[in-house]
Amino acid sequence: DGTLWMEVPSVGGRSPDVPVAVRPRAPAPQTVAAAALDTRVQYFRRHTSAIDDSAFGWVTASGVRGELDIEVTLALDPEELPRNYVVRLYFAEVEDVREGERRFDVRVQDHAALDDFDIVGAAGRVRRTVVKELRGVAVRDKLIVSLRGRTGSLPPQLNGLEVELDR
């Protein structure tokens, strides 16, 4: 279908050089000892068989957790006119987490996209892929997806991000 898939960070081989930045929202640790234990951004990888039911298990068996902003550069000129995109967010709970234990908000281009989102609640169980599609997302040069946790909840999680020009 012409979709280019890549992993961030790249560990399975060379990936196309699309600028992607993953930035924690919390301040950096102030001591060397604290920096060594920094868990603001946590990447995880599981085997595809960890996801039970999806053609996209190879996407959702890995991901990133934390209160963070993901920035994808889609155009090199910040003066470019905005273009509309379809943004698909992929989720699957790979841990033994019960409904309600991981709740978070997702913002796209600083607009609410998912409010109080619960992966297990949306999927009906763990190890099942959920895809949330957003149409007409206007982007000038950088797409920004923000994950914001809820008090008393496990850290936010995103397993995959797909961006397609909205035609």
* 12 pLDDT above the threshold of 70: no
**19 by DSSP, 3-state: which?**
coil
CA distances to 11, 99, 108, 162, 167 from 140, in Å: 29, 37, 13, 17, 16
Task: Indicate the average pLDDT of the chain.
Answer: 88
* 36 pLDDT above the threshold of 70: no
**Which pTM value belongs to this model?**
0.87
Neighbours of 138 (CB within 10 A): 13
Contact 71, 146 (CB under 8 A): no
The region of weakest confidence among 6-15, 49-58, 134-143, 146-155 is 6-15
